[in-house]
Amino acid sequence: MTDDAPAGRLTLNLMHFARALRAAGLPVGPGKVLQAVEAVEAVGLSNRTDFYWALHAIFVNRHDQSELFDQAFHVFWRNPDILKKMMSLMLPKVRTEAPDQPEMAQRLAEALHGSGAEQEEPEKTEIEVDASFTVSAAERLQDKDFEKMTGEEMAQAKRLLARLALPLAEVTTRRYRSDPMGPRVDPRATLRRMLRTGGDLSDLARKRRRTRPPPLVVLCDISGSMTRYSRMLLHFMHAVTNDRDRVYSFVFGTRLTNITRHLRHKDVDVALDAVSGAVADWSGGTRIGTALHAFNRTWARRVLGQGAVVLLITDGLDRDAGEGLAAEADRLHKSCRRLVWLNPLLRWEGFAPKSSGIRALLPHVDDFLAAHSLNSLADLAGVLSADGPRRSPGLRRWLKEAAG
């Protein structure tokens, strides 16, 4: 960069690029742009690969952000004129089969379309919006598939997830609390009362058992087939962890990783950065049986006491074709108070439990629910807080289909 004009244009383009990344979902602050300018000045512009990795080092903090950055880089720095064409290609369409494309394509296209380098902002037209449309938009967001959300919608969804509460039906503990109408006499409290009255016994002190929400254990699949949903589900896990005590969180692909300590950080970005650094098998294969075996052997006795509820979040697509999965799922089911399976594939009306992994898991769970939208996670809260039989009556339908 020999003169100020090219340097100024590069800085402006880096600002537009950072804005596009931020709109697409990456946590990019103003300081990152200054760091990016310094990094580019250090490596120069003679080598595209050096330029790529210099920006990657600045803007990417977690493994799951790499794919989004890669797509944005190769589109933005190739030719900004193709952005409109890319936008038209990536607008949401009605799909007749399971989506195979990366889940961030739509919001990336939207972000880049609005951030072309050195574009003049057209004059805005003032538009009146009826209040009913605002309500309708909020309702649509609640039902919208995480995979189809734009960057702005994902940001709104994350804010809503941060306020999500997950009440659990309380269980009786071994401890007692004072209660004048309690079913049992409290000898200690009765003796203390007699000492205060000089030995006169006017009334017996009574007590009853304490109740409290049970521990919650979350096992979340972060394999390649779950990439579209794992990021939002980690936000859900962070919200639940910070809403209550005794929450234990694990992720798995080909191995099991305990991320409980990382998710306890109040700042969600710091928490997910720590998770990214701790997990080595993002977006890889899935060995559900191996992961459950590791949990049953190493963690079950530590975290499944006092009637724990287990949330198993996976699509059930197992690389080992369900080998050993039924036995491990059965052991887990017998060790907890309730085993709830959350499967994003249930968003498809034509879903059928035909894969070997799904058939191996189904007989050993108590609920089989969707986990692809805000409403599906809200429905989970209703299921967990309700009293009733351990196994959901609706599970019979899925067991029948799996057997057929």
Same domain, 245 and 279: yes
Assigned domain for 163 exists: no
> End of a domain among 113, 144, 163?
113
Same domain, 360 and 257: yes
Mean pLDDT of the region 277-300? 90
Same domain, 332 and 399: yes
For the stretch 187-214, pLDDT in tens is 888 888 888 877 777 788 888 888 778 8
Neighbours of 285 (CB within 10 A): 14
- Angle 105-113/83-90 helices, nearest 10 degrees? 150
Give the pLDDT score at 323: 82
Q: Where is pLDDT greater, at 386 or 336?
A: 336
Assigned domain for 122 exists: no
Task: Round the average pLDDT of the chain to a whole number and report it.
Answer: 79
The band of 7, judged by pLDDT with boundaries at 50, 70 and 90, is: low
Same domain, 179 and 261: no
Structure tokens at 104: 């961030």
Same domain, 333 and 374: yes
Mean pLDDT of the region 268-285? 87
Same domain, 248 and 316: yes
| Integer-rounded Cα radius of gyration of the chain | 26
Assigned domain for 50 exists: yes
Give the pLDDT score at 262: 94
Q: Worst-scoring range by mean pLDDT, 36-50, 135-149, 312-326, 335-349?
A: 135-149
Assigned domain for 371 exists: yes
Q: Worst-scoring range by mean pLDDT, 10-14, 165-169, 256-260?
A: 165-169
Mean pLDDT of the region 142-157? 84
The band of 384, judged by pLDDT with boundaries at 50, 70 and 90, is: confident
Name every residue whose Cβ is closer than 8 Å to that of residue 318 and which is 6 or more positions away in sequence: 286, 287, 288, 289, 325, 355, 356, 357, 360
Same domain, 189 and 322: no
Do 398 and 362 meet the contact criterion of CB atoms below 8 Å apart?
yes
Indicate the SS3 state at residue 96.
coil
Share of the chain above pLDDT 70, in %: 82
C-alpha distance across the termini of the chain, in Å? 69
Same domain, 234 and 320: yes
| CATH (domain of 312) | 3.40.50.410
> C-alpha distances in angstroms, 102 versus 60, 70, 228, 360?
17, 12, 7, 28
At 377, which amino acid appears?
L
pLDDT at 305 over 90: no
Q: Where is pLDDT greater, at 200 or 112?
A: 200
Name every residue whose Cβ is closer than 8 Å to that of residue 39 and which is 6 or more positions away in sequence: 54, 55, 57, 58
What beta strand segments (E) does 61-205 contain? 171-178, 184-185
Mean pLDDT of the region 1-28? 71
Q: Worst-scoring range by mean pLDDT, 71-85, 101-115, 366-380?
A: 101-115
Q: State which residues form the domain around 313.
A: 216-403
Same domain, 310 and 358: yes
Please tell me the total count of domains within the chain: 3
Mean pLDDT of the region 128-151? 66
For the stretch 29-40, pLDDT in tens is 767 888 888 888
Assigned domain for 176 exists: yes
pLDDT at 128 over 80: no
> End of a domain among 156, 188, 212?
212
Do 218 and 260 meet the contact criterion of CB atoms below 8 Å apart?
no
Backbone angles phi, psi at 94, to 5 degrees: -75, 125
> C-alpha distances in angstroms, 220 versus 77, 217, 234?
35, 10, 8
Backbone angles phi, psi at 290, to 5 degrees: -65, -40
Assigned domain for 80 exists: yes
Structure tokens at 179: 């209660």
Same domain, 353 and 269: yes
**pTM as predicted:** 0.63
* CA separation for the pair 341, 370 (Å, rounded): 8
pLDDT at 124 over 60: no
> End of a domain among 154, 182, 212?
212
pLDDT at 132 over 90: no
Assigned domain for 63 exists: yes
Same domain, 62 and 176: no
pLDDT at 101 over 60: no
For residue 342, give the DSSP letter.
E
Give the pLDDT score at 47: 79
DSSP H helices, 244-373, are: 260-263, 268-278, 288-298, 300-303, 325-335, 356-361
Q: Where is pLDDT greater, at 77 or 40?
A: 40
* Residue entry with tokens 């300590």: 261
Same domain, 207 and 220: no
Angle at 247 between CA 308 and CA 174, to 5 degrees: 45
For residue 311, give the DSSP letter.
E
* CA separation for the pair 119, 334 (Å, rounded): 61
Assigned domain for 373 exists: yes
Neighbours of 194 (CB within 10 A): 14
Q: 309-313 and 216-221 as β-strands: parallel, antiparallel, unpaired?
A: parallel
